C-alpha cells in the first residue's frame, strides 16, 4: 500500500512539473537559459545579467524566459499585473538575504498583508508633507551645508564624489532614522569612526559575496561563519567570497548600538522624537503593534542601509553627467534656473521650493532613468496560476521586471542611452504630465504597494544638494572618457556609451563661481 501511495505522489509531482514546463515553453527565449538557472548565473558572475536580459528583450520581445522557472517581462501591462495595487504577487525567498538580526522587515516581508501592516506604522514619517516640513527640511539643509563645507575643508576627498556623497547620504539617513544623539553619524564633519563604518560598502568585492548568497546560500552561510584557523585557510585559498568585514556588518553593529541607546533613553526623549525619527515612531506604537525589540531594530537598520547607496549613487551619476563636456549646456541651463531661487546664509535652499523647478526636476528624473540606483530584476511569484501578457504563468513561477530594461525601451524613450533632461519637459518648458507614457514607464522607485517608502526623502536630498552645489560651483569630469561604476547586488552598472569604466570612483573638479 505504501509503495502505491509513493508511486502516485511521484507521478503527480512529475506530471505537475511537466505541465508547468509545457506552459512556460510557450514563452520565448534561448533554450540554454530555459534549461538551467546557471546560465543566467554566469552572466551575473560577470556582472552583466541585466544587460543580457535587456538584449534578450530586444531580440524576443516583452516576455523572455530567463530560467527554468523564471520569466522577465518588459511591458506596462505586465507592470500593472505583477506590481500594481491589489496584485496577488508576493516577494520571493530572494529577499530573505536582506533580513536583519534574523527578523524580517518592510523590505523583506513576502506577505503583502504583513507589509501593509508595517508600512502603516511609519508611512507618516516618510510622507511628502512631513519630509518638506520643518524638521526634515532643516536636517537636509544642514547636511547639504556640511557637504559644501567638506568640499572647502577637504578638497581632495570632496572631489572623489563616490565616497564623499556616501558620507552625505549616510549622515542624512542615520539622523532621520535615529536622531542626532542615538545613532546619527558625523562622516561629513570628519569623524574617522563614522567613515570607517561604511568601508565595507565602498568595497567592490561585496558583489561577489552577494552572488554567492543568491546562488549558493547554504555554502555562503557556512563559509562566512567560519572563524579562527579555518577562516584564515579558506581566505588564503581564495575561497572566501569577500574578506571581512562583510558588507553592511559595520553598519548593522552601529544600528544595533543605536537601537539600544534609544531604548535606554528617558521616556520624554523617546516621545519627543516620535514625529521626527523612524525609531521614535516605532517605539510609540510598539505595544499596540506588538513589536519586539528585534522587530524595531531590524526595521530601523534596514531603513538605514536602504538610504545610503541609493541616494549617493544617484547623486554621483547626476553630478558626473552634468560635468561631462558635451553636457555643459545642461549644466548652464540648470544654473540659470537656480539663480532665481532664494537660499539661507549657508547657501541651502528650501526643499519645498525646489519641487517647482522644471529643469532641476527633469535633470533628476533623467538621471534616475539612465542610472537607476537599483536597476536590477525585482522577483515576484504568485500562489495561483495567472495570465500575464497572454502567457499562462503557473503558480510559483518567478516573474519580474527591471528598471534597467523598462528605461531603455526605445518606443518610449527615443535614443534611450542619451542623457537628455529635455525629454521630461513640454515645449513650453514645464514638466510633462504624470499621465504621459514616459512617466508611466518610469520605475526608479518601483510602484504599487511596494513603492520605495523613502522616495520623498531621497528627492529632497538630491534636489537640495544639486541646487546648492550648482549655485556655487561649476563642475567638470576629471576623466571625461571614463564612466563611474556602481555595485548593485552582484551587478556593475555604468554608462555603457563610455569607452572606459572605473568601479566605485568618480573624480570631479569643482570651480567656485564666486559670491552671488
Q: At what angle do helices 134-153 and 161-178 cross, to 10 degrees?
A: 150
Prior bond of 415 cis (ω within 30°): no
Strands 508-512 and 90-91: unpaired
> CA 314, CA 488: separation in Å to the nearest integer?
12
Cell numbers that stand for 233 in this block: 585557510
Closest to 307 (Cα-Cα) out of 469, 455, 143, 157: 455
> CA 326, CA 330: separation in Å to the nearest integer?
9
Closest to 201 (Cα-Cα) out of 254, 148, 154, 146: 254
> CA 394, CA 380: separation in Å to the nearest integer?
13
Q: Please give the helix or strand (H or E) that residue 65 lies within, else none.
A: strand 63-67
> CA 393, CA 382: separation in Å to the nearest integer?
9
> CA 199, CA 255: separation in Å to the nearest integer?
15
Beta bridge partners, 474, equal: 511
Cell numbers that stand for 214 in this block: 543568491
Closest to 66 (Cα-Cα) out of 29, 92, 91: 29
In order of 101, 326, 500, 501, the CA distances from 479 in angstroms are 41, 13, 9, 10
For 280, list phi and psi in degrees, rounded to 5.
Answer: -65, -40
> CA 402, CA 244: separation in Å to the nearest integer?
31
> CA 124, CA 424: separation in Å to the nearest integer?
29
**Location of C-alpha cell 510609540:** 284
**Distance from the Cα of residue 212 to its chain's centroid:** 20
* 361 CB-near residues (< 8 Å, 6+ apart): 354, 355, 424, 431, 463
452 marked as binding residue: yes
> CA 294, CA 468: separation in Å to the nearest integer?
39
Closest to 115 (Cα-Cα) out of 370, 478, 472, 450: 450
CB atoms inside a 10 Å sphere around CB 19: 11
Cell numbers that stand for 293 in this block: 525589540
To 5 degrees, how large is the angle CA 38–CA 210–CA 48? 55
Binding-site entries: 452
Summarize the annotated binding site for heme as residue ranges: 452
Amino acid at each position: 500500500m505504501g509503495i502505491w501511495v509513493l508511486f502516485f505522489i511521484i507521478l503527480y509531482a512529475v506530471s505537475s512539473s511537466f505541465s508547468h514546463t509545457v506552459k512556460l515553453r510557450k514563452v520565448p527565449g534561448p533554450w540554454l537559459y530555459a534549461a538551467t538557472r546557471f546560465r543566467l548565473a554566469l552572466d551575473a558572475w560577470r556582472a552583466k545579467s541585466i544587460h543580457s536580459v535587456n538584449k534578450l528583450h530586444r531580440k524576443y520581445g516583452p516576455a523572455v524566459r530567463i530560467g527554468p522557472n523564471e520569466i522577465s517581462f518588459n511591458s506596462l501591462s505586465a507592470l500593472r499585473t505583477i506590481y500594481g495595487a491589489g496584485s496577488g504577487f508576493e516577494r520571493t525567498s530572494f529577499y530573505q538575504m536582506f533580513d536583519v538580526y534574523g527578523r524580517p522587515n518592510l523590505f523583506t516581508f513576502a506577505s503583502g498583508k504583513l507589509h501593509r501592516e508595517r508600512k502603516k506604522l511609519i508611512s507618516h514619517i516618510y510622507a511628502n508633507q512631513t519630509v518638506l516640513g520643518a524638521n526634515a527640511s532643516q536636517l537636509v539643509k544642514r547636511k547639504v551645508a556640511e557637504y559644501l563645507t567638506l568640499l572647502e575643508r577637504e578638497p581632495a576627498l570632496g572631489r572623489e564624489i563616490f565616497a564623499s556623497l556616501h558620507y552625505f547620504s549616510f549622515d542624512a539617513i542615520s539622523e532621520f532614522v535615529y536622531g542626532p544623539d542615538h545613532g546619527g553619524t558625523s562622516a561629513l564633519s570628519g569623524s574617522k569612526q563614522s567613515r570607517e563604518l561604511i568601508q565595507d560598502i565602498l568595497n567592490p568585492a561585496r558583489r561577489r559575496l552577494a552572488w554567492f548568497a543568491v546562488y549558493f546560500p547554504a555554502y555562503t552561510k557556512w563559509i562566512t561563519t567560519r572563524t579562527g584557523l579555518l577562516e584564515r585557510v579558506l581566505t588564503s585559498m581564495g575561497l572566501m567570497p569577500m574578506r571581512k568585514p562583510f558588507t553592511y556588518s559595520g553598519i548593522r553593529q552601529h544600528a544595533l548600538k543605536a537601537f539600544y541607546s534609544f531604548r535606554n533613553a528617558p521616556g520624554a526623549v523617546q516621545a519627543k522624537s516620535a514625529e521626527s525619527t523612524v525609531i521614535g515612531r516605532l517605539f510609540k506604537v510598539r505595544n499596540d503593534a506588538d513589536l519586539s525589540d528585534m522587530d524595531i531594530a531590524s526595521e530601523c537598520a534596514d531603513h538605514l542601509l536602504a538610504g545610503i547607496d541609493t541616494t549617493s549613487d544617484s547623486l554621483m551619476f547626476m553630478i558626473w553627467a552634468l560635468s561631462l563636456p558635451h553636457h555643459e549646456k545642461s549644466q548652464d541651463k540648470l544654473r540659470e534656473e537656480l539663480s532665481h531661487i532664494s537660499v539661507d546664509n549657508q547657501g541651502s535652499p528650501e526643499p519645498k521650493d525646489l519641487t517647482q523647478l522644471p529643469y532641476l526636476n527633469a535633470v533628476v528624473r533623467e538621471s534616475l532613468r539612465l542610472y537607476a540606483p537599483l536597476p536590477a530584476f525585482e522577483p515576484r511569484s504568485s500562489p495561483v496560476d495567472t495570465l500575464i501578457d497572454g502567457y499562462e504563468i503557473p503558480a510559483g513561477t518567478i516573474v519580474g521586471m527591471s528598471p534597467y530594461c523598462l528605461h531603455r525601451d526605445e518606443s518610449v524613450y527615443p535614443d534611450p542611452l542619451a542623457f537628455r533632461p529635455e525629454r521630461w519637459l513640454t515645449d513650453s518648458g514645464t514638466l510633462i504630465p504624470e499621465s504621459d507614457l514616459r512617466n508611466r514607464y518610469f520605475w526608479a522607485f518601483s510602484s504599487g504597494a511596494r513603492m520605495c517608502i523613502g522616495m520623498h526623502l531621497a528627492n529632497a536630498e538630491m534636489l537640495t544638494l544639486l541646487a546648492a552645489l550648482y549655485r556655487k560651483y561649476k563642475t567638470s569630469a576629471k576623466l571625461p572618457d571614463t564612466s563611474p561604476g556602481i555595485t548593485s547586488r552582484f551587478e556593475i552598472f555604468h554608462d555603457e556609451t563610455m569607452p572606459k569604466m572605473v568601479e566605485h570612483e568618480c573624480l570631479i573638479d569643482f570651480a567656485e563661481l564666486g559670491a552671488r
